[in-house]
Structure formats: structure tokens, C-alpha cells
Amino acid sequence: MSARQIGFIAGLIVLLGIVVICAIIKKSSLKGEYDERQELIRGRGYKYALLTVMVFNAICLIFGVEGQVPYFSWDYLTLVSIMLGTLVFGVYSILHDAFIGLNNNVRSFVVLFAACIIANLFGGIHHLQQGLLENGQVTFATGSNLTLSVGFVILLITILVQHFSSRED
Amino acid sequence: MKNLRLKAARAGMDLSQQQLADKVGVSRQTISAIEKGDYNPTINLCISICKVLGKTLDELFWVE
């Protein structure tokens, strides 16, 4: 197991631990509560996200040359595929006021997204300075931080715009 | 189609969209969507809203 994989697993365990501790302290369910309209929209969002992932992967397969997509490694494209699906679901449900559940608030997500952006930005800037290409390709190791930062920035901007534009009628 | 009767009934009880949403157990945006005519609530939600506002289903949701 590489150092990166060990670090990833360790980070995941820490994150899960924090979530569980917060849930215990808050004495509330980890599962978000959504009303019927939000559930409907989220279901549609999941459908569009799945379609996006399928189309993206099909494009990669079709346009790949000898099993390789030029300039991008397959592990990086897998991340991009997941990120695209997440973004489609996130943006769609945010714009239709179905992202934030009944027992959550905007501030929690703004803080969470900001933390994710900051956490990935340092690595992203480092790889930008060192060069994103590894053997002529953007790989998971070199491109993941920047990609995640961009993804979370899009979600953060969307959630802020939607929050300030949707006021009581 | 806009549901002006719902809006009027809510205003009649001096409730904001958020207050009505809290009493009914949905989000403010759902109440807004119902009033604008962008969302058709289920019968259970209709009944919940009627109970809070003290109106009948016909008075709030029947389409003339």
C-alpha cells in the first residue's frame, strides 16, 4: 500500500470519527430529513448524475486511443467522472432548494465546502507549480487536489448564490 | 397555477411561509413552490396544511 493510500485511509477514518462524534454530541440522526418535494428533486438529481457519469465514461471509451485517453490517466478520469456526477447532483438540487435538509442549515455546508477547498488548494497549487503532467499525463496524484478544489468552489458559489437569491415571497 | 387562496389563508393567520412550513413539517421553499403553482403537494401534505390553516381541502386546493 502506498503512502498516499495510507494517508487517504487515515484521513477518511479521522473524518468518519469527527462525523460520529458530532452526531453523538448533537444527539441527532446522521440521515438528513427532506420533505416530499425535496425527495422528488433529489431523485431526479441522482438520475441526471448517473446519466452524466455514463455519458462521460462512454466518451472516454470512444475517444480513447489504444485504450488510453491522451493527456489523462484512467485513475484521474475516474475521479473526474465521480466529480461530474456529484456536481450535476449538487448543482441541480441546490438550485431547486433540495440540497439542504430540514434539520440542516446553509452555514454548515458553507463551512464544510470552504474547508474542503482550503484543504485541497495547498496540494493543488503545489502540483501546479511542480507541473501537472507525470509521464505526459495528468494523474490522480497530480490532478486530484486541483479538481476537487474546483468542484467544491462550484458547489460553494452555487449554494451562496441560491441562498441570497431565494428570499421569502 | 398559482394558489392565491393558500397565500391568502396563510396571510389571514398572520403566518410567514417559514412559520407555516415549520408547523407543517416541510421547507419554506416547498410552501413557496405550492403558492406559486410550481409544485403539486401530495394529499397528505394538503391535509396537513388545511389542518394548520383551519380550512377545508376544497377551500384551499380545489381547482375552479
CB A162 within 8 A of CB A94: yes
Low-confidence ranges of chain B (pLDDT < 70): none
Segment A26-56, tens digit of pLDDT: 665 556 689 999 999 999 999 999 999 999 9
For residue A92, give how far its alpha carbon lies from the nearest alpha carbon of chain B (Å): 15
Nearest chain A residue to B38 by CA distance is: A37
- Asked if pLDDT for residue A87 goes beyond 90, the answer is yes
Q: Residue A168: what pLDDT?
A: 57
Q: What is the CATH number of domain B4-56?
A: 1.10.260.40
Domain edges within chain A: 31-168
Q: Residue A6: what pLDDT?
A: 83
Q: Residue A30: what pLDDT?
A: 54
**Mean pLDDT over residues A142-169, rounded?**
88
Name the residue facing A169 among B17, B26, B45 (closest C-beta): B17
- Asked if pLDDT for residue A5 goes beyond 60, the answer is yes
Chain B residue numbers with beta carbons less than 8 Å from the beta carbon of A36 are 26, 30, 41-42, 45
Q: Residue A93: what pLDDT?
A: 97
- Long-range contact set of residues B6-10: C-beta below 8 Å, sequence gap at least 24: B6/B34, B6/B35, B6/B49, B6/B53, B6/B60, B6/B61, B7/B35, B9/B53, B9/B55, B9/B59, B9/B60, B10/B35, B10/B53
Q: Residue A45: what pLDDT?
A: 97
Q: What is the ipTM of this complex?
A: 0.90
Residues 3-62 of B with CB under 8 A from A: 16-18, 25-30, 32-33, 35-36, 39, 41-42, 45
- Asked if pLDDT for residue A83 goes beyond 60, the answer is yes
